[in-house]
Chain A
């Protein structure tokens, strides 16, 4: 349903002149940023596919190319069999899109007017449009507030309305760019189950971008992690996690003291990589990958650097998507900067 081959996209980024007065008379200088470089994806019909990555990884750029909002610099993309450059109208007819979240609906209209507007533009009119609007309002849980002006909605309600608008014409492909941002836990859970249902019962193909690893793990049939515009791994969540090995992750919790625990630990031969450090008020938890599978916590508790610490617990953990990400990219998902700022 979606086919991406060697996709490339570069942007020019304006470099502000340090002297303000010079900005009046001179044009800004630009540098080129590679947002997507040689990305390949193939998403089957009825598949739930997630694109994972930190801010600036190239997820939104990829999605915007697939929605015909950006033109690629290289490679090719086909959506529902249509080329995103040559058959833009056909692509738009076949996809439902939720980008820019709450800002993608008209705040000065009511929820119903918004849904009717989008349904009219997709060719639904009269009774069929009205009944579809009611159906969608029910689906996204806005039936009781559908006649209120959108400007009076909460952020989560606007987000749900935007998703409703993307479903209004029963698209065979749904493209959702970080749709759970701004939703409360209940709203996010409801949305996730709705998407799962659409995918499994109605055969809708879903391309979903997020930087919430747990969410992707829960929803996806397959996923790809992208970093700095390149795909670093692709597969089912289980396959991706298994790439780290089943028994190579340990989670050590120690009481806080004046010394850092991660530095001496990382120098230990048995520790391959420190994946995550979480400092609490009273304890510090270190998640690390070991060079060999660990079958007993005694091996870890006996390590020299831990003798100076009050060990609270040691667990042998299953690898998570975040562990895979850190392991493959060398950085934490929250540490990577935004690389795709435009001119």
Chain B
């Protein structure tokens, strides 16, 4: 896995401009939001926001939501190619994916090997954004031991959710052979209804319903609640954290299921079975490797005799 992660890093370093941009890209998404918020509230605290959420400082509200987004890999401008799902689709387009699956390692190791790079990248982005907002712009979260622990728990949940969404995204990308699918079906809808920088209850009813069943909403809310003391979706941060964790476990199971189900032949265009059919190449290859090794051994024994 370490070797695959190292390879992913080498590949990223080959595209220097992209790599530099990856390190700062999240700021480019945040700036128009912050500037719009600044213009709408005339550069002062928002009374309306205070009425709705109990927080008067719109920047604290937006930045904390956005830090959570970033840890999740969603607040990333380079998402078109900086994500597990897209790293996989890139390998597919350049023709190296099949080769990767033929390596004698577990398929999940390959995905996590690719994923490690992005986990490190997104954690770096979240951390720098948080520290930058804190140290440079005077943004002040409520830092208590309990709050920090909850925040770390929330970040862990966000990172694991990021990997599981990436794996499910990879399934969609491979099944439809279309790398826009993940963006349209998972990433952007989940981002929209999570309320990272607006109040969820203002959305139309069907979207509000989606927000309340969206795992990302709880993780974002738990992170913000841990550092402000005012969660919006639930009565306490702990409940939001537990809900987010439960969702993450469910997503892990779903992602695991995607890789364990056996599909029949002729699975093209059917997301899960098709993915499994591709994964089966790797399994068959392992068996072949084992068979060829034992064949080589038996030939050697014959020759020695």
A residues near B (Cβ < 8 Å) are 20, 23-24, 151, 281
A21 nearest CB neighbor, chain B only? B13
Is B265 an interface residue when CB atoms closer than 8 A count as contact? no
Measured between beta carbons, the chain B residues less than 8 angstroms from A151 are 177
Measured between beta carbons, the chain A residues less than 8 angstroms from B19 are 24
A281 touches B299 (CB 8 A): yes
Is B205 an interface residue when CB atoms closer than 8 A count as contact? no
B302 nearest CB neighbor, chain A only? A281
Q: Which residues of B, 260-305, contact A by the 8 Å Cβ criterion?
A: 299, 303
Query: Known contacts being A281-B299, A281-B303, is A23 close to B9, with CB within 8 Å?
Result: no
B13 touches A24 (CB 8 A): yes
| C-alpha gap A154/B9 in the complex (Å) | 33
Overall SS of chain A's interface: helix
B residues near A (Cβ < 8 Å) are 9-10, 13-14, 16, 19-20, 177, 299, 303
A20 nearest CB neighbor, chain B only? B13
A20 touches B16 (CB 8 A): no
Select A24's contact among B16, B177, B299, B303, beta carbons within 8 Å: B16
B23 nearest CB neighbor, chain A only? A24
Measured between beta carbons, the chain B residues less than 8 angstroms from A20 are 9-10, 13
| C-alpha gap A24/B15 in the complex (Å) | 9
Measured between beta carbons, the chain A residues less than 8 angstroms from B20 are 24
| C-alpha gap A41/B204 in the complex (Å) | 74
Measured between beta carbons, the chain B residues less than 8 angstroms from A24 are 13, 16, 19-20
| C-alpha gap A151/B176 in the complex (Å) | 13
Measured between beta carbons, the chain A residues less than 8 angstroms from B177 are 151
Measured between beta carbons, the chain A residues less than 8 angstroms from B13 are 20, 23-24
A20 vs chain B, min Cβ distance (A):
6
Q: Which 7 A-B pairs have the closest CB atoms?
A: A23-B13, A20-B13, A24-B19, A24-B16, A24-B13, A23-B16, A20-B10
| C-alpha gap A24/B20 in the complex (Å) | 7
| C-alpha gap A24/B10 in the complex (Å) | 11
Measured between beta carbons, the chain B residues less than 8 angstroms from A23 are 13-14, 16
A107 nearest CB neighbor, chain B only? B177
Measured between beta carbons, the chain A residues less than 8 angstroms from B303 are 281
A23 nearest CB neighbor, chain B only? B13
Measured between beta carbons, the chain A residues less than 8 angstroms from B14 are 23
B120 vs chain A, min Cβ distance (A):
14
A15 vs chain B, min Cβ distance (A):
13
| C-alpha gap A151/B92 in the complex (Å) | 13
User: 11 other contacts beyond A20-B13, A23-B13, with CB at 8 A cut-off?
Assistant: A20-B9, A20-B10, A23-B14, A23-B16, A24-B13, A24-B16, A24-B19, A24-B20, A151-B177, A281-B299, A281-B303
A23 vs chain B, min Cβ distance (A):
5
B126 vs chain A, min Cβ distance (A):
20
| C-alpha gap A23/B20 in the complex (Å) | 11
| C-alpha gap A55/B26 in the complex (Å) | 44
| C-alpha gap A24/B23 in the complex (Å) | 11
A103 nearest CB neighbor, chain B only? B95
A341 vs chain B, min Cβ distance (A):
14
| C-alpha gap A325/B14 in the complex (Å) | 37
A290 vs chain B, min Cβ distance (A):
32
| C-alpha gap A151/B177 in the complex (Å) | 11
Measured between beta carbons, the chain B residues less than 8 angstroms from A281 are 299, 303
A-B CB contact pairs (8 Å), 9 listed: A20-B13, A23-B14, A23-B16, A24-B13, A24-B16, A24-B19, A151-B177, A281-B299, A281-B303
